[in-house]
Each structure stands twice: as structure tokens, then as C-alpha cells.
């Protein structure tokens, strides 16, 4: 009884960590600029396809592809930020939603054109494939690895936001953008960097997600919904909130599918709608 | 616009007057009967999509509520009309009314929630409620047919005389009449003081209560009305195609109708109609067997419209004619 339960909890936690990597960037950029970026998961998908291409066409090892998944998503996102996004910072929600949905449509079509609509196969290195037994409980090696990476990323992010000058700038801009500008902080520049960092993390998340959920062009929309749920439940601009919300959503999704499979994703959406009605600004949101 | 703004009533009356271009538009909707008799099925789908876009325009274009889950009401209407006919009552008009009532009830319940939120929370709530209904319909396979779609829908002839034919002759006539009637209602609504206060809410929902227009009550009303209209559109689709698929409730349909409305232009009623004509004909011509490439052009179009045509095609035309008139006036 306890064994399967811990297994479900652990799988849910690992899945939640994946959602955290995918969504933390969106949470921070939304909190900073109030920019509703529905193309966020298109950048995650880009990271996934970079890993697939490097592994399958160039025979790179899995680990070596991860930095490139991060960099590719970050670089492409900064180009879009400078060319398109920045023109709409003052615009209405609707314009932002439309522009970024348009970008996501284009990204899905391009991915389908280049790679086809099939699931992309990847073979993980042997040491990530098996399972590990700790105290008589079996854990998937890849999921342990995923949890490890997510925790390292969280520590790095929190450290950077709390203890560096750049982090102080970002926190100031999230808290009160106009005041930060008044103090001479370059909010646009800080935002561009944060945006690139967030998209890069999404790209990394996309690369890590292939083993768990697969990769096909519909990724940009399927996981967009999960990411938006995490962001809006966790609260804008809050890393801790995203972490808690991702864990909650990950565990309730996996547990829901394990214990009440006929409900499907119903449970997740219900959790989200109820939480949002109770706290419209999210669990940890200030506004 | 150089309209004498003596009193609000003369302003509203001048807005409500029928423009010759409007009469021309509605006469042009009759053309498919003679010019494209082979495309009447498509024409009926266009009329249904136009009705759906019109309902979204009421909440998005007039009250400024961004909804990513409007297909929920379309799907509710479709399933209500489809299920009642599957279980032996195939009379179309009452089926239509049933679809409208079911969508309206759920619309009213959700409007209580929707009226409380703005910005991202609003987008997420509408999206979440749409997804909830989609999952509910998916898991209630015994009622809705699940992923296979609702089979066995049988619709009786309208007034026991006009049978639904293979060429879509009845379907188009029926959809067009319903579209026109609902359009008249929408036109009357938007040209009333109520419609004017909705536009006020869109511009500033905090200030409107101060001039005597309760924002939340108005939003609840228009959201329910829009849900009823979307339900009628869904019921029409179920009756004319005699099937309902899960896709009627899906996120894709909510996104499509948003694209259609934006393409045509929001807040001017005809925007959704023009957008539906262009979108549906283009999809029929270009999508073929690979719908995912069709979305490349939709996406590119969306980016262009947001960047260069902020008020859609009709907004662009209005701007062009205004500048043309001004130049002629100066010469």
C-alpha cells in the first residue's frame, strides 16, 4: 500500500519538476512586464528539437546537447523579443495573446514541416534508463536525474535572484516597474535578459521532457496549458510559488491518472479553476 | 464621423440607421443559391461560424472580455441539440431552443465567476472552464459518444416540410435565417443604451459604476446572451451535419473563432461575419490534407494583423475610406 503510494508521489514530484523548469521563466517575465506570452512552450519545443537533431543526426551524447537546447531557445527568444514583443509592452492583453498565439501556430507548422507530426525517438544513455533501489523502494533513474537537475536549477535561480546585482534589478522591476525605472534601472535590458533566461530554461525543460512525455509539434500547445496553470496558480513573478504550484499540479495529475483514470485531466482543470476562484492572483501572488 | 451629437438618443438613432452597404451585404448572402449551388454545405458552415463569431464579438468587442474558452457554449448547444434528437425528438426549432437554453444556463453560472476577474486570471478561468467541459464530455462517453463523436443524430424536416438535403439547400437557408434573426437582436442590443454602457465598461470598468452602469451586472448579462447565441450556433452545426464531435468543445475552436473575429475586426458586428467568410473559404481552398501547414498562414496572418492592422480588415477599410474622404474634402 505504502510502496505504490510513494512511487506515485515520486513520479508526480518528478513530473512537477519538469513543469517547473518549463514554467518558471514565464512566471518571472509575466510578473515583470505583464506580457502574456503564449509562445513560451514553442521555445521549449525548440529546445526539444535541438536535442533530438543533435542526438539523432550528429550522434552527440545526451548530456552534451542540453546546453545547446538552452542556448538555442535563449538566442531565438531574444531575437523575437527585440523584433516583435517589445512593440507590444503597452498593448492590451488581447493583442499580446494574439501575437503570441500566432507565433505558436507558426512554430507548430514549421516543426511539422521539418520533422513531421510523428513522435521523435531518442535513446537515453544506459545509466539513465534503469531504476535505482533505495530503502527497498524503486525509483526511475531518469526521474531521479530530472529531480536533481530541477533542484540545482532552483538553487541557482534563487541564489542569482537573491544575491546578485542583476537579481536585485529583476526583483525591483517585478515589484514596481515604474519606480525601478525612476531609479535609473534599465528595466528593458533586464527584461530582455530575463526573457532569454526563462526561454532558455523552457528549452532545457523541452529537451528533458522528451523521455517523459515525448515530442511532437503539438507540444507547444499541450504543455502550454499546463504551464499556464502552474503560472497562474503559483502567482506571477514568484519562483517559490511556481515551485509549489508545479509540485501540486504534477502530483495531482499523476495521482489522478493513477487512481481515477477515467477522469483524465479533469482533476487538474478543476484544481486550477477552484484555486483561481479562491485566489485570483495565485497562491503566492501579491497582485 | 461628423454626426451631430445633440443628445445620446440622436446619436443612438443615427447609429441604428441601416447603411446601404449593410443591405448589400445581406443581399450578397443570397448569391450562393445561384452562383455556387455546389458549395451550399460550405456556405451553411460559414453562416454558423459567423453566428459563433458574432456571439464572441458581443463579449470581446463590446465588453472587452478576452475569452479562450468560448467554444464551451458552442459545444454545449451542439451536444444538447444532438442528444435530444438521438433520443427521439428531432424537431429542429425546439432543438435549437433547447441548445440555447442549456448554453444560456451554463453561461449564466459561469458569468458570475467571469465578471469578477480581469487580465490573466480571466483568460485562465475561461480557458480552464473550456477545458473542464471538454474533459467532462470526453469522459462521459455513454452520453456524448466520447472521442468517437455523437452518432445517430436524426433531424426531422423543418415544419415537417423542408427536409435536410445532401446539397445543403435547406441547411443554408435555415442557418442563414437563424443568423439574420440573431444578428438583428445583436444589432438592436449594441445600438441600445445597454450596448453603449458595455463599450464604456470595455474602456474603463471601474469608472462605469460611478455614472450609473453596474459593470458586473452588465457583464453577467452580456456573457449570458453571448453564451445563448453560441449555443444556437452549436445546435445549428449539430442539426445540419447530424453529428457532434468532441472538437466542437475544443481549445482549437475557441482559438479559431478568436482569429476569425480579429481578422474581420472587433466591436463592429460585421467583423465576425466578414472574418468567417474569409477564414472558412481560405481553409476550404488551402488546407487540403495537411491542416498543420494551414496554421502557418493563420499564425503569420495573426502576427501581421496585430502589428499592422490593429482593428482588423473592416477597421482598415474604415480608416482608408475616412482618409480618402478627408482628402477629397480638402481638394
Distance between CA atoms of residues B155 and A31, nearest Å? 51
* CA nearest to B304 within chain A: A99
Minimal CA–CA distance to B292: which of A98, A112, A38? A112
Please tell me whether residue A131 adopts helix, strand or coil conformation.
strand
Let me know: does B286 contact B296? Beta carbons within 8 Å.
no
Has residue A207 been placed in a domain? yes
Domains: count for chain A: 1
Distance between CA atoms of residues A246 and A144, nearest Å? 16
Give the confidence band of B6 by pLDDT, cuts at 50, 70, 90: low
Distance between CA atoms of residues B316 and B304, nearest Å? 13
CB < 8 Å to A261, chain B: none
pLDDT tens figures, B104-163? 999 999 998 888 877 777 888 888 888 888 888 888 888 887 778 888 788 888 887 778
What are the domain boundaries of chain B? 32-249
Let me know: does A20 contact A150? Beta carbons within 8 Å.
yes
Distance between CA atoms of residues B11 and B200, nearest Å? 15
Minimal CA–CA distance to B153: which of B89, B100, B93? B89
ipTM: 0.80
| Chain A nearest C-alpha distance from B35 (Å) | 34
The predicted model scores a pTM of 0.85
How crowded is residue A208: how many other Cβ atoms within 10 Å of its Cβ? 26
Distance between CA atoms of residues B297 and B292, nearest Å? 10
Cβ-defined contacts of A113-117 (< 8 Å, 24+): A113/B292, A113/B293, A113/B296, A114/A49, A115/A49, A115/A52, A115/A217, A117/A216, A117/A217, A117/A218, A117/B292
Let me know: does B306 contact A102? Beta carbons within 8 Å.
yes
Q: Which residue numbers in chain A have pLDDT < 70?
A: 1-3, 264, 285-287
Has residue A285 been placed in a domain? no
Please tell me if residue B299 touches chain A, with a CB cutoff of 8 Å. Answer: yes
What is the dihedral angle through the alpha carbons of A246, A13, A72, B127, rounded to the nearest 10 degrees? -30
Give percent of chain A above pLDDT 90: 20
Q: Are B120 and A232 an interchain contact pair (Cβ–Cβ within 8 Å)?
A: yes
| CATH number of the CATH domain containing A149 | 1.10.3470
| Chain A nearest C-alpha distance from B92 (Å) | 32
CB < 8 Å to B128, chain A: 229, 269, 272-273, 276
Q: What sign for the dihedral angle of Cα B85, B87, B89, B95?
A: negative
Task: Look at residue A43 in the predicted model and tell me its pLDDT.
Answer: 93
Residue B309 φ/ψ region, left for φ over 0, alpha for ψ in the -120 to 50 degree band, beta for the rest = beta
| Chain A nearest C-alpha distance from B136 (Å) | 7
Distance between CA atoms of residues A238 and A25, nearest Å? 10
Range of the domain at A170: 2-278
Amino acid at each position: 500500500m505504502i510502496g505504490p503510494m510513494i512511487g506515485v508521489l515520486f513520479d508526480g514530484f518528478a513530473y512537477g519538476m519538469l513543469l517547473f523548469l518549463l514554467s518558471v521563466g514565464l512566471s518571472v517575465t509575466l510578473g515583470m512586464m505583464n506580457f502574456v506570452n503564449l509562445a513560451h512552450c514553442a521555445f521549449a519545443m525548440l529546445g526539444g528539437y535541438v536535442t533530438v537533431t543533435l542526438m539523432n543526426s550528429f550522434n552527440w551524447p545526451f548530456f552534451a546537447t542540453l546546453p545547446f537546447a538552452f542556448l538555442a531557445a535563449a538566442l531565438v527568444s531574444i531575437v523575437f523579443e527585440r523584433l516583435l514583443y517589445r512593440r507590444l509592452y503597452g498593448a492590451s492583453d488581447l493583442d499580446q495573446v494574439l501575437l503570441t498565439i500566432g507565433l505558436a501556430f507558426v512554430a507548430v507548422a514549421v516543426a511539422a514541416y521539418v520533422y513531421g507530426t510523428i513522435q521523435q525517438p531518442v535513446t537515453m544513455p544506459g545509466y539513465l534508463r534503469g531504476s535505482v533501489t533505495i530503502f527497498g523502494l524503486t525509483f526511475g533513474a531518469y526521474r531521479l536525474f530530472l529531480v536533481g537537475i530541477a533542484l540545482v536549477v532552483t538553487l541557482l535561480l534563487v541564489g542569482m535572484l537573491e544575491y546578485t546585482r542583476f537579481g536585485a534589478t529583476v526583483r525591483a522591476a517585478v515589484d514596481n516597474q515604474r519606480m525601478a525605472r525612476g531609479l535609473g534601472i534599465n528595466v528593458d535590458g533586464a527584461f530582455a535578459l530575463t526573457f532569454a533566461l526563462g526561454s532558455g530554461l523552457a528549452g532545457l525543460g523541452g529537451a528533458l521532457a522528451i523521455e517523459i512525455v515525448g515530442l511532437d509539434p503539438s507540444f507547444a500547445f499541450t504543455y502550454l496549458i499546463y504551464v499556464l496553470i502552474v503560472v497562474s496558480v503559483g502567482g506571477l513573478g514568484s519562483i517559490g510559488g511556481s515551485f509549489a504550484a508545479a509540485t501540486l499540479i504534477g502530483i495531482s495529475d499523476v495521482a489522478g491518472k493513477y487512481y481515477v483514470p477515467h477522469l483524465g485531466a479533469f482533476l487538474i482543470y478543476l484544481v486550477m479553476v477552484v484555486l483561481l476562484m479562491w485566489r485570483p492572483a495565485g497562491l503566492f501572488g501579491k497582485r | 464621423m461628423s454626426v451631430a451629437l445633440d443628445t445620446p438618443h440622436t446619436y443612438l438613432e443615427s447609429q441604428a440607421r441601416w447603411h446601404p452597404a449593410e443591405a448589400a451585404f445581406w443581399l450578397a448572402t443570397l448569391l450562393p443559391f445561384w452562383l455556387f449551388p455546389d458549395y451550399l454545405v460550405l456556405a451553411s458552415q460559414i453562416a454558423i461560424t459567423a453566428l459563433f463569431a458574432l456571439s464572441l464579438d458581443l463579449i470581446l468587442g463590446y465588453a472587452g472580455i478576452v475569452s479562450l474558452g468560448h467554444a464551451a457554449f458552442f459545444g454545449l448547444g451542439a451536444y444538447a441539440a444532438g442528444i435530444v434528437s438521438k433520443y427521439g425528438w428531432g424537431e429542429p426549432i425546439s432543438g435549437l431552443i433547447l441548445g440555447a437554453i442549456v448554453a444560456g444556463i451554463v453561461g449564466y453560472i459561469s458569468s458570475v465567476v467571469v465578471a469578477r476577474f480581469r487580465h490573466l486570471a480571466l483568460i485562465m478561468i475561461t480557458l480552464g472552464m473550456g477545458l473542464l467541459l471538454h474533459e467532462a464530455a470526453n469522459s462521459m462517453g455513454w452520453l456524448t459518444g466520447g472521442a468517437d463523436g455523437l452518432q445517430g443524430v436524426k433531424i426531422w424536416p423543418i415544419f415537417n416540410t423542408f427536409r435536410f438535403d445532401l446539397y445543403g439547400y435547406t441547411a443554408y437557408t435555415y442557418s442563414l435565417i437563424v443568423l439574420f434573426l440573431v444578428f438583428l437582436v445583436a444589432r438592436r442590443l449594441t445600438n441600445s443604451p445597454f450596448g453603449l454602457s458595455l463599450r464604456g465598461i470595455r474602456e474603463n470598468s471601474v469608472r462605469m459604476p460611478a455614472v450609473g452602469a453596474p459593470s458586473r451586472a452588465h457583464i453577467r448579462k452580456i456573457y449570458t446572451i453571448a453564451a445563448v447565441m453560441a449555443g444556437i450556433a452549436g445546435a445549428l452545426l449539430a442539426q445540419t451535419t447530424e453529428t457532434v464531435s468532441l472538437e466542437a468543445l475544443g481549445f482549437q475552436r475557441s482559438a479559431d473563432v478568436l482569429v476569425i473575429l480579429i481578422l474581420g475586426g472587433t466591436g463592429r458586428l460585421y467583423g465576425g461575419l466578414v472574418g468567417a467568410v474569409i477564414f472558412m473559404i481560405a481553409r476550404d481552398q488551402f488546407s487540403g490534407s495537411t491542416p498543420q501547414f494551414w496554421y502557418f498562414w493563420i499564425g503569420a496572418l495573426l502576427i501581421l494583423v496585430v502589428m499592422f492592422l490593429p482593428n482588423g480588415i473592416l477597421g482598415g477599410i474604415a480608416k482608408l475610406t475616412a482618409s480618402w474622404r478627408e482628402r477629397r474634402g480638402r481638394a
